[in-house]
Structure 1
Amino acid sequence: MSINLGAEISRRRREQKLTQEDLAELSDLSVNFISRLERTKDQNISIQKLDSIARALNTTTPDIVNNAYREKQVRNSEVVQDSTPVFIKKVANELRKLPKERAEKMCKAFIILLKEANE
């Protein structure tokens, strides 16, 4: 499972009101490296560099990794919770094919039917 360490590093950096330049200076890394790490999904980072960033952010490497992993789990669970059943997607797709006025009439009729079914 890939996690986005750069997003977690960026979040922590902004929380501490540090610029990328500040973090680069504190971690003895280049601004270009910090920028690339934060903006891309390229997670090619050595443990030494990650340790240096963690120290500069007053945290630990495991803490950064764990939070990035937790964030990935939260995003994945949101996708599952927000997924629309296939039959609803099919209905919506068919409604999109209709002229706007006709689709609106169909939706109103469908809502009436649903309300009657729930009585």
Structure 2
Amino acid sequence: MSANLGEEISRRRRGQRLTQEDLAELSDLSVNFISRLERTKNQNISIQKLDSIAQALNTTTPDIINNAYRIKKVDNIVTQNNTPVFIQKVNNELRKLPPVQAERVCKAFITILKEIN
């Protein structure tokens, strides 16, 4: 994937003068997970974990994703079947949820998108 969520998370964490240990504690994730996320280009992270990290960094999940893609040129977004990979990942995570919960997540996501436009 051309975007590097770990790079963006690391940049934000350092900008707030937080250690990986601090971020792990604030997001209820392990230090090993945060460390691996920040140093690996091919992350496989759930929306729930990314949301926990975003809250710990006082930001939103869409903001982290958008800025991760801004680090690289937009033309470099990896696609499959003409769909950006990050959209496919969101779809995959939504499919794992029970329908009622997936609907609530979608409605919340739509609300967030309307607020940032």
- Normalising by the smaller structure, the TM-score range is 0.5 to 0.7
- Any unmatched runs of 5+ in structure 1? 77-119
- Greater RCO between the two (CA within 8 Å, min separation 6)? 2
**Fraction of identical pairs, as percent:** 88
Kindly report structure 1 stretches of 4+ aligned residues shifted beyond 2 Å: none
| Counterpart in the other structure of 2:25 | 25
| Counterpart in the other structure of 2:46 | 46
Aligned residues: CA RMSD: 1.4
CA–CA separation in structure 1 for the residues paired with 2:2 and 2:30: 24
- Any unmatched runs of 5+ in structure 2? 77-117
CA–CA separation in structure 2 for the residues paired with 1:26 and 1:73: 31
Structure 1 or 2, whichever has the larger Rg, is 1
Deviation at 1:2, TM superposition (A): 3.1
CA–CA separation in structure 1 for the residues paired with 2:42 and 2:33: 11
> Under a length normalisation based on structure 2, what TM-score does the superposition of the two structures give?
0.61
> Under a length normalisation based on structure 1, what TM-score does the superposition of the two structures give?
0.60
Number of aligned residues:
75
